[in-house]
């Protein structure tokens, strides 16, 4: 997301990543890193971190991949509900009944590639909407 925002001169936006499961400090999955690298992104050096109270308080938007993640965050941070969005809701072909981007962890390369494609396309939509809504060019 950082790369796409920078390519579109959206430099006033801070992007960070955090998870809802307690697996602090785990490096990026080798399959995911490989696919990111093949597509011109740097996945090396990524380490997981747990979503914290401060992150939630400081965030303007919290974007999640699955409804289950959204529910977990809302259950813990009820005041944050209005700033939590599913990533796929920014896709041009958003479909309320199929709006999760499933985690491919432990599955074949095919599912990692499918996940990458869904995220890539959806981030393109998110950046376009951001530019349209703010007038950034």
Domain CATH code at residue 103: 3.40.50.2300
Which pLDDT does position 20 carry in this prediction?
87
pLDDT band at residue 96 under the 50/70/90 scheme = low
Q: Structural domain tally of the chain?
A: 1
DSSP conformation letters of 74-95: HHH-GGGGGGEEEGGGGSTT--
For 23, residues 6+ apart whose C-beta sits below 8 A from its C-beta are 48, 50
Which carries the bigger pLDDT value, residue 68 or residue 124?
A: 68
Say if CB 129 and CB 119 are below 8 A apart.
Answer: no
Do residues 57 and 50 lie in contact, with contact meaning Cβ atoms separated by under 8 Å? no
pLDDT confidence of residue 117: 92
Structural domain contains residue 27: yes
The CA distance from 58 to 94, in Å, is 27
As a whole number of angstroms, the distance between CA 84 and CA 21 comes to 17
Residue 66 located in a structural domain: yes
Domain-located, residue 6: no
Between the ranges 39-43, 95-99, 126-130, where is the mean pLDDT highest? Answer: 39-43
User: What span, in angstroms and rounded, lies between the C-alpha atoms of 12 and 99?
Assistant: 28
pLDDT at 137: 40
Residue 3 lies in a domain: no
Inter-CA distances, 69 with 18, 65, 74, 86, 109, Å: 11, 7, 9, 9, 23
Domain span holding position 100:
15-128
pLDDT in tens, 23-59: 778 888 899 999 999 998 888 888 889 999 999 999 9
Instruction: Evaluate whether residue 136 is within a structural domain.
Output: no
Residue 135 lies in a domain: no
- Let me know if residue 22 belongs to a domain: yes
What gap in Å lies between CA 65 and CA 68, rounded to an integer? 9
Alpha helix locations (H) across 8-137? 30-38, 53-58, 67-76, 109-134
Whole-angstrom Cα distance, residue 112 to residue 87?
Answer: 17
Q: Is residue 117 part of a domain?
A: yes
């Amino acid at each position: 997301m950082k790369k796409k925002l920078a390519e579109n001169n959206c430099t006033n936006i801070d992007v960070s990543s955090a998870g809802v499961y307690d697996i602090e400090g785990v490096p990026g999955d080798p399959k995911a890193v490989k696919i990111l690298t093949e597509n011109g992104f740097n996945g090396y050096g990524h380490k997981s971190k747990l979503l914290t109270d401060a992150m939630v308080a400081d965030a303007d938007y919290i974007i999640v991949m699955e409804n289950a993640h959204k529910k977990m965050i809302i259950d813990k941070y009820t005041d944050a509900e209005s700033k939590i969005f599913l990533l796929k809701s920014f896709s041009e072909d958003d479909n309320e009944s199929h709006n999760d981007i499933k985690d491919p962890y432990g599955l074949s390369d095919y599912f990692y590639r499918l996940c990458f494609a869904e995220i890539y396309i959806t981030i393109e939509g998110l950046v376009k909407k951001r530019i349209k809504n703010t007038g950034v060019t």
